[in-house]
Amino acid sequence: MELIKNFILQITFIVLPIFTYHLFWLSKNHAYILKPNKILITCCTILSSFLCIIWPIEIIDGLIVNLQAIPLFISFVYAGYIPGLLTLLTTFAYKLHIELEWYFTLASIMSNCILPLLLHLKWQQFGFKRKLGWAVIHGAVLLGCTLLSLSFVSVSQNISFVTVANITISIFVLTLVLLFAIYLVEYIKENALIRMELIKAEKLTLVSELAASVAHEVRNPLTVVRGFVQLIGSSTDNNITQKREYMNLVLAELDRAQSIITDYLGLASQQFISKEKIDLTETLDEIRTLMISYANFKTVTLTCDLESPLYVLGDQAKLKQVFINLIKNAIEAVPNMDGNVTIRAYVSYEIVRVKISDNGVGMSTEQIARLGEPYYSLKENGTGLGLTVTYSILKNHGGSIRYKSEPNKGTIAIVSLPTYFANDKYGDDV
Cβ proximity of 65 and 59 under 8 Å: yes
Show me where the domains of the chain are located: 2-201, 275-429
Of 213-222, 243-252, 294-303, 421-430, which one has max mean pLDDT? 294-303
Return the pLDDT at 30.
64
CA distance 112 to 71: 10
pLDDT of 179: 92
38 φ, ψ (degrees, to nearest 5): -65, -35
Lowest mean pLDDT among 8-22, 36-50, 110-124, 184-198: 110-124
> What's the burial of 85, exposed, middle or buried (CB within 10 Å: 0-12/13-18/19+)?
middle
Q: Provide, rounded to the nearest whole percent, the portion of the chain with pLDDT above 90.
A: 16
Please report, for residues 42, 180, 250, 291, 343, the alpha-carbon distance to residue 285 in angstroms, rounded to integers and kept in the order given.
Answer: 71, 71, 16, 10, 10
Give residues with Cβ within 8 angstroms of 277, minimum separation 6: 311, 313, 420, 427, 430
For residues 380 and 315, the answer to whether their CB atoms sit within 8 Å is: no
Better pLDDT: 259 or 267: 259
43-66 in b/e form (b: 16+ CB < 10 A) is bbbbbbbbbbbeeebebeeeeebb
Q: Tell me the C-alpha distance between 69 and 10, whole Å.
A: 12
- Torsion over CA of 58, 63, 66 and 69, rounded to 10 degrees? -170
More confident: 312 or 272: 312
Tens digit of each residue's pLDDT (9 = 90 or more) over 113-146: 788 888 888 888 888 899 999 989 988 888 887 7
Longest alpha-carbon distance in the chain: 123
Q: How far apart are CA 231 and CA 264, in angstroms?
A: 30
Q: Is the pTM of this model over 0.75?
A: no
| Residue 56, preceding peptide bond in cis (omega within 30° of 0) | no
pLDDT at 184: 92
* Residue 99 clears pLDDT 70, i.e. is over it: no
How many CB atoms neighbour CB 412 within 10 A?
Answer: 16
What confidence tier does 161 reach under pLDDT thresholds 50, 70, 90? low
Nearest-CA neighbor of 13 among 170, 134, 174, 124? 174
The arithmetic mean of pLDDT across residues 339-348, rounded, is 92
CATH class belonging to 275-429: alpha beta
pLDDT at 430 over 50: no
What pLDDT does 270 receive? 42
Would you say residue 383 has pLDDT above 70?
no
Helix or strand or coil: residue 339?
A: strand
Lowest mean pLDDT among 50-54, 59-63, 231-235, 297-301: 59-63
Residue with more model confidence, 282 or 384:
282
What pLDDT score was predicted for residue 29?
66
Higher per-residue confidence, 264 vs 393: 393
Least confident of 147-161, 183-197, 205-219, 402-416: 147-161
Q: In whole numbers, what is the pLDDT of the chain averaged over residues?
A: 80
Q: What pLDDT, on the 0 to 100 scale, is given for residue 206?
A: 66
pLDDT exceeds 60 at position 268:
no
Q: For residue 18, give Cα distances in angstroms to 15, 30, 227.
A: 5, 19, 66
What does the pLDDT read at residue 238? Answer: 64
E strand or H helix that includes residue 398:
none
d(CA 2, CA 286): 83
Cβ contacts of 58 within 8 Å, gap of 6 or more: 3, 6, 64
Return the bridge partners of 415, or none: 354, 401
